[in-house]
Amino acid sequence: MSLLPVEGQPGLYRDTKSNAIVNSNTMEYENYVKQRNARQTKNVKIEQLESEMHQIKDDLFEIKTLLKSFIEK
């Protein structure tokens, strides 16, 4: 594998065989992985909150319906 430095991008190299960009800065990569994992965790939490909110709305609608039917009888 032969690597050529990418112009204007320190720590990045182009693999001449596969034409892929290779990042030789492991600290930068680890930071990227941490940020990606944090975003994924945040997205999961948001999805859980949305799901709980929809469940609460459904429960409130059911309670409201039961109260209306109770008052009518």
**Domain range list for the chain:** 3-72
Place of tokens 């990045």: 12
* pTM for the structure as a whole: 0.62
Give the alpha-carbon dihedral of 55, 61, 63, 69, to 10 degrees: -150
What is the pLDDT tens value at each position of the chain, 73 positions in all?
Answer: 799 999 998 889 999 999 999 988 889 889 999 999 999 999 999 999 999 999 999 999 999 999 999 999 8
For residue 4, which of 21, 26, 29, 28 has the smallest C-alpha distance? 21
Q: Where are the alpha helices (DSSP H) in the chain?
A: 26-72
**Which phi-psi region, left, alpha or beta, contains residue 8 (left: φ > 0; alpha: ψ -120 to 50)?**
left
